Structure 1
Amino acid sequence: MSLLASTRHKFIDYIAPRDYMGVAKASRIFSALLKEEDFDAVVSTGAAVALASHLPARRRGARTIYIESVSRFDGPSLTGRILQRVPHIERYAQHSGYNVSRWRQEFSVLDTYAADATWQHDGVPRSIFVTLGTIHPYRFDRLVDRLVEIAPTNTEFVWQLGSTIRDDLPGTVHNEMSAAQFEAAALGSELVVTHAGVGTIMGLLDVRRPTLVVPRRRSFKEHVDDHQLQITREVSSRGLAIASEADQIDIDTLTRASATRVL
């Protein structure tokens, strides 16, 4: 939210995955906004908020642009599948393989990064920033517990936990952080360990921090589905970050991750 502090903005309440009542409530807010003034276009990159904004925008005849999330490599999200049935919405995919009659493929924002072959870091990271995003109501205790279990006892931790509220962790603990706090914590650590939330990953790539990406799993009730496996697979195959399942992280994983960063 702090990123918008100096811009004209209006917040709506968080809409959880599959929260259809939340979509309906937000849709009424967007309908009121669209009546207040004329906008050149309505743009969204996905999730339930796109349903809440784009459907009333189309009813008013406004130009609507939907850009599918960079994390959706294997086809559109549920939101994308719904919106591809709505006429006159401009739909863009960041990856090939989408139905070309319904989607226009441009480029992936991941194309702007490359592995930094000159970067070197020896040994186990001494300071680790762990960020789990703010996806509610999903916890990610598996990752937290694994890091506490395998990291050396002298590791300096900073935690951003979101819904994974804990009071038993070493180091500094935050539930949420401002953009400035987040960047400072990332830059001040030798390694960032993150859930595979695409927004978080992109932010870490932007500040060129060595990163370990760990996907949430639906089978452990850590997310609504397993789409985080897609972005995990992609950043790993491009050499942009090291990836691991939560229960497979060990000292070697942390060492390899701290020795990888991007240009």
Structure 2
Amino acid sequence: MSTLFLATTGGHLTQLVALAERIPKDPDSFWVTHANEQSRSLLDGREVVYLPYVGVRDVPGVLRCVPVARDLLRRRDVTRVVSTGSGIALGFLPYLAAHGVECHYIESAARVGGPSLTGRLLRRVPRVHTYTQHRGWADAHWHYGGNGFDAYEAASCHRERAAGTPLRVVVTVGTAHEFPFRRLFVRLAALLGRGGELERAAGRRVEVLWQTGGTPVEDLRLDAVPFLPAADLAAALARADVVVSHAGTGSALASLEAGRFAVVVPREARLGEAGDDHQRQLARELDGRGLALHREVGGLGVEDLLATLATAVRRVSTVPAFELRT
């Protein structure tokens, strides 16, 4: 018996790594994803098959996955596949389900109001079990198995800071290179720059890690780091006093795991920052759970950044299993 864990990089992979710990284990398992700094770091020590990147609505990329699925089925005793998407799942699950493999597709926690295009397509594929992470739209077709954010709760905190120590800030916008989020960096450059509003309000020097993804920021004079290994980002988040993140699931989970109550700022599809507006739904969900502070780019101020210092996040004592159908 062997379980294949399948996800594209970014938030989909971050979610699957966390959910895999809540799923009954097979004696053997391996992973299929794309190769980048995040996946190599996050899956270090595990057996991984790396594929060329499958982009948004990338039909040729999906079709290129099918021969790989056929080859893996021939070489490995794959009995179960668990995927959080996105497009990569369309290249594997229909083929594997048709050949008798137990298939499970878990929709992203970012999809608060309903399934993604990938989810809508896979829901119609025979013998593919589909799951939502939100009870509000669970039905006969979409089973509620649990939510990735169930593992966390907010707690008040007071951090002692020695005189003269800098205020450490992490700004992160995930790994997607198709969608720049320049508005956020333009706004934060004014707030976080040397001698800027945050330094004046906090009365101390501000140090910033700018994880910029695919956003061009050369003219903003930021010390940009487009992509970071997952372990390096986790370490930076754990050291941070303030975190500002796009409202992506992977970035949100990374902040929560590091114990940080972040300011989450959603991208807007109409401005070419995302494929749709699911990030606004997720930002509201996290704010409603008390796990983050939702702000729009235009309304983001220094008072919001300082307000997060009074709250931390911790893991709950017992995380429930994610329930797969059989």
**Shorter-chain TM band:** over 0.9
Say if 2:157 and 2:309, in contact at 8 Å, map to a contact too. Answer: no
- Look up the SS of the partner of 2:194 in the other structure: coil
- What is the aligned partner in structure 2 of residue 86 from structure 1? 125
Separation in 1, partners of 2:88, 2:310: 37
The answer for the alignment partner of 2:11 in structure 1 is none
Partner in structure 2 of residue 58 of structure 1: 97
1:225 paired to 2:276: yes
TM-score, normalised on structure 2? 0.75
The DSSP-based 3-state class of the residue aligned with 1:136 is coil
**Mapped pair 1:214 → 2:255:** no
**Match for residue 174 of structure 1 among 225, 228, 234:** 225
Distance in 2 (alpha carbons) for counterparts of 1:130 and 1:238: 22
Deviation (angstroms), 1:26: 2.1
* Structure 2 counterpart of 1:203: 254
Verify the 8 A CA contact 1:67 1:91 in the aligned structure 2: yes
Larger strand fraction of residues: 2
Q: After alignment, is 105-114 or 212-221 more displaced?
A: 105-114
SS of structure 2 residue aligned to 1:135:
coil
Residue of structure 2 in register with 1:136 after alignment: 177
The 1:41–1:226 alpha-carbon spacing in structure 2 relative to 1, beyond 3 Å, is same
- 1:71 corresponds in structure 2 to 110
Q: Is the 8 A contact 1:157 1:171 kept in 2?
A: no
- SS of 1:114's equivalent? strand
The alpha-carbon distance between structure 1 residues 222 and 238, as it changes in their structure 2 partners (threshold 3 A), is same
Is residue 164 of structure 1 aligned with residue 203 of structure 2? no
SS of alignment partner, residue 85 of structure 2: coil
SS across alignment from 2:245: strand
Determine if contact 1:121/1:258 at 8 Å carries over to the other structure: no
Which residue matches 1:185?
236
The number of aligned residues is 261
Unpaired segments of 5 or more residues in structure 1?
none
Q: Aligned AA for 2:66?
A: S
CA shift, 1:238, in A, is 1.0
Q: Write out per-residue CA displacement over residues 124-166 of structure 1, whole angstroms, 9 at most, x where no aligned residue.
A: x822111111112110000000001123525211111111133
Deviations 1:66-98 (A, max 9, x none): 111111111111111111111111112111233
How big is the shift at 1:186? 1.0
Partner SS, residue 225 of structure 1: coil
Code of the residue aligned with 2:171 in structure 1: it is V
Whole-Å Cα distance in 1 between the matches of residues 193 and 160 of structure 2? 17
Mark the runs of 5 or more structure 2 residues left unpaired by the alignment: 1-38, 196-205, 315-326
Pairing partner for 2:168 from 100, 111, 127: 127
Residue-by-residue CA offset, 1:188-242 (whole Å, 9 max, x unaligned) = 2211111111011111101102311111110110011001111101100111111
Alpha-carbon distance in 2 for matches of 1:85, 1:77 = 13
Q: Deviations over 1:80-122 (max 9, x none)?
A: 1111111111112111233522121122121221110345689
User: Is 1:211–1:258's contact at 8 Å kept on the other side of the alignment?
Assistant: no
Opposite residue 274 of structure 2, the aligned amino acid is H
Percent identity among equivalent residues? 36
In 1, are the aligned partners of 2:182 and 2:216 still within 8 Å (CA)? no
User: Contact 1:70/1:94 (CA < 8 Å) preserved in 2?
Assistant: yes
Tell whether the 8 Å contact from 1:131 to 1:159 is kept in structure 2 after alignment. yes
Aligned-partner SS, 1:252: helix
Letter in 2 for 1:88: R
Is this contact kept in 1: 2:157–2:312, CA < 8 A? no
- In structure 1, which of residues 126, 145, 159 is the aligned counterpart of residue 186 of structure 2? 145
- Whether the 8 Å CA contact 2:158–2:309 is kept in 1: the answer is no
Alignment RMSD:
1.9
2: CA distance, partners of 1:196 / 1:174: 19
Counterparts of 1:120 and 1:96, CA distance in 2: 36
**What is the Cα deviation at residue 40 of structure 1?**
2.1
Q: 1:112 corresponds to which letter in structure 2?
A: A
Q: Is the 8 A contact 1:70 1:198 kept in 2?
A: yes
Q: What SS does the aligned partner of 1:133 have?
A: coil
